[in-house]
Structure 1
């Protein structure tokens, strides 16, 4: 059976399940189990608003249903509606104070809203209620350095002693948590051993087609020459509103967006699939064009329509805006948009493109320490190094084919060394007046949903510059991938 056929069958079964569950819920409107099953099936079908409405209808019949408040709160958080999510999760907590998963989701919502201490308190309570759940330790270590005598660290180490009782996911999360905790306490060798184990588990679970990435990157560089880009850039959409922040993960991009979004004329949309969605939909509307190829075959009118579509999607992301007028700039921090810089230039010649970069080894080791959900290239040192090379080759190409000044390079180490100079440079590049709020980025209460959620709630710190590195033998796969002879930075 082909994958497409299997997908159609699964969708048909889900549609039948929706009708059956709706009928069951009509007979028993306060059935928490039926409502949860219906909501989950609707989410699988992409009908999220209907799932939310389903939960609300059940609560209208019985507002004391703990599981429905918890399910609705989780779904609202996943859709970025954090204030509503917090309300329902607090209701669930009030109804059942000792529900560890609710404490964990509350912690997630609170940390993304910037309430780090409250999030830590909920995670510690979740650990007390369920000390054998590795995910709670992972959440705690992402937010806080644990002292050597912290009971949570002792509990993690005890759980590691009986890791055979955990499934692969549990062991992977526990190793990542111990990797972070031990690094924070200065036990770097033991920390890295845990990271190697965690990533080995993750890599075995995750398919990754490295050659497809390499072929795609080479094809983009071959197609997007200086002449091809220039041929359409003059007729691109004139809006200066889009700002694209691109680069490698863990390169300071969240810090840069936090600085930028602290400006009263800027909205930071974060890591959103808006550009990818726009391009995919454009490929359906214009069958002769494919994503990853230049737009020269489309008319100026069609290119303008694609650009407008993205801008409309971007505007819909603006929530909680308190300015007197719409934001002058809206940032998109989906980092692998560096593959699409040629298309960005063709569509919006006045868009700002900010490239964040950091020492390659620091960048890669930081990536290796994080259990990213979708970044499959980060689970193997060799693949990570080679991906970094593809990214570097791509950025070198764009610098060669685009006019000078099109892309602003922002080095993490420079921002850390001199925040004001770096922040002023970013704001000036975006053609905005200077605002002192950009220096108080850590006071912003904007939503942050990246792995740097705790770091950007603190003033600038320098401890991430020149992080500890294993010996060259241990790092050999990464060094070879990066094209470096040693961790000292010598080129192979």
Structure 2
């Protein structure tokens, strides 16, 4: 299964439906003209002299927002030419605008299959899947678009928008600035996207400047820009500035639900919990849809949790997951995850690993420190601590290992996929390429801004990098690997209460989060038995109980002198962009230790999955 397929929800016709029945996707077309259409035989060209008039009427109706008429004209055109690009595009626009997302998805997929070399089709597909949260598919279409139209500014803006949602902010900035260099307009969309790319890199003052420019040049009301800017200020704990921006947005769009959501978040951060609930109650009464509805439930859960109303919090988190899943269509790709783990364990064996080639050291460049651990296990806390030291710069979540894995077969000239492609390194003319792979990683780290002058190290905190500890060890056998360990019940509860997309969408349910935790923990234990890694387990609870002792131990392991300033990690000016961004701006606290106890009755279904790991990781009666 590819990344694109893992993102893809399953759309199927109703069992036993006739070809004349209305298609289950909701397009309004019959099955034979929609999801059961034979694309190899479908007519792309009109035969009637009135076809052009039909298309013109469709376009005019859509422009005038007469969507019922536009849909009627699109249906008429598609009955004559079911594969006509503009007719499909017209119906896609109507379905998208009327909230028929399944139909819009079916249509945009059909257009991409029929017209893979059409830049406009690829642009529509990239933007659709970006909006839906199917990041893998959005990126694939965006890349195809840039290849098809490398000198079109709109192609680069689209690629920048996609890279923003995949957290590849340096690449996003590259494309957005390229769009401007090509003569594209310095409009609100481009400048606003540039602001988001700059924020993602931690360049907050430049991001503020870009937001200000975007708002200034907006030809139409731009509340979404003000809301995004307000979100930046909230994350930076500049609450008054955030509130002022939300006030400006509300003056332009009084009923925009994102404004109410932003106000609720601000109230929670200010510990005005009842005010937050009142705002969320009013928002829920208005019936928000899609992503806002999901995020409002997540915010409600966080407020209830802070108030100690844990049963209500869990119900809110459950509703958040249900709404988020309905919006994205994501489900845990359990079979794919299990297959990957099996392949890795079968390849990295005690018999094979001694014979796998390792890269040599590079003493002329900063080297990576890999901070690994299941999401919500304390990796951000440790990275903020490490990067408070003058010898260590912050790489944050570097996507390089995953990208390298995608490219390995072609780089090594292998017909097989990773990890089997690594056997090419045993062939004489490939033997030196392990060093080349190491250098690709280091060059990408430099390009992404992970290094800085004077620093000997940089961090790589990509979630679930521990899945690929085998490759990491081959590339950097001397690099420190810091493994965060936290009580499994706490980890799974925290993953469930946050919107994470890593790990084959394992966070879509409590059970899938627990299953992926167990799968990953088992793989890590396997690596530890077959590889001589430079590996250190750091227990989150020990960090909380005795911060200085654990931090000294951490720096002894890395080989850097202890600096007492690192204990004040909360003063690290580098912004964290993970779900724990607010926590790491505070001094170390213990209220997140054994938080699962407050939710014990709700976690009963996953305890059998996690119990073996609770024991193996050394959490006994004290935590239970």
TM-score range relative to shorter protein: 0.7 to 0.9
Instruction: State whether structure 2 residue 499 is matched by structure 1 residue 338.
Output: no
Structure 2 residues not aligned, in runs of 5+: 1-38, 41-108, 125-151, 164-170
Change (3 A) 1:8 1:41: farther
**Selected match of 1:249 from 351, 375, 378:** 375
Instruction: State whether structure 2 residue 174 is matched by structure 1 residue 52.
Output: no
Ranked by relative contact order (alpha carbons within 8 Å, sequence separation 6 or more), the top structure is 1
**Selected match of 1:193 from 315, 329, 350:** 315
How big is each residue's C-alpha offset from its partner over 1:327-384, in whole Å with a ceiling of 9 and x where there is no partner?
2111110121111111111222111111111111111111111122445111211111
Tell me the equivalent position of 1:107: 230
CA RMSD of aligned residues (A): 3.7
Tell me the equivalent position of 1:419: 547
Match of 1:243, SS state, is: strand
Instruction: State whether structure 2 residue 348 is matched by structure 1 residue 224.
Output: yes
Change (3 A) 1:58 1:418: same
Structure 1 residues not aligned, in runs of 5+: 19-34
Match of 2:118, SS state, is: helix
How big is each residue's C-alpha offset from its partner over 1:389-448, in whole Å with a ceiling of 9 and x where there is no partner?
101101211221233x72111111111111111111111211112222211211111242
Tell me the equivalent position of 2:524: 395
Change (3 A) 1:180 1:10: farther
- TM-score, length of structure 2 as denominator length: 0.66
C-alpha deviation, 1:56, in angstroms? 7.0
Instruction: State whether structure 2 residue 284 is matched by structure 1 residue 160.
Output: yes
Does the CA-based 8 Å contact 2:396-2:460 persist in structure 1? yes
Change (3 A) 1:275 1:122: farther
Instruction: State whether structure 2 residue 498 is matched by structure 1 residue 381.
Output: no
Number of residue-to-residue matches in the alignment: 464
Change (3 A) 1:194 1:251: same
Where do 1:196-207 residues align within 5 Å?
196-204=318-326, 205-207=329-331
Tell me the equivalent position of 1:443: 571
Tell me the equivalent position of 2:433: 302
Tell me the equivalent position of 1:291: 418
Q: In terms of mean alpha carbon deviation, does 49-58 or 303-312 score higher?
A: 49-58
Does the CA-based 8 Å contact 1:242-1:329 persist in structure 2? yes
Instruction: State whether structure 2 residue 128 is matched by structure 1 residue 6.
Output: no
Match of 1:295, SS state, is: helix
How big is each residue's C-alpha offset from its partner over 1:308-341, in whole Å with a ceiling of 9 and x where there is no partner?
11111112223693x4x3x211111012111111
Where do 1:404-415 residues align within 5 Å?
406-415=534-543
Q: In terms of mean alpha carbon deviation, does 327-336 or 7-16 score higher?
A: 7-16
CA distance in 2, matches of 1:342, 1:71: 36
CA distance in 2, matches of 1:206, 1:309: 32
Match of 2:483, SS state, is: strand
Does the CA-based 8 Å contact 1:270-1:334 persist in structure 2? yes
Instruction: State whether structure 2 residue 441 is matched by structure 1 residue 313.
Output: no
Does the CA-based 8 Å contact 1:384-1:481 persist in structure 2? no
Match of 1:355, SS state, is: strand
Change (3 A) 1:279 1:10: same
How big is each residue's C-alpha offset from its partner over 1:212-261, in whole Å with a ceiling of 9 and x where there is no partner?
1012112211211134222235x422248121111111000000011111
Instruction: State whether structure 2 residue 605 is matched by structure 1 residue 477.
Output: yes
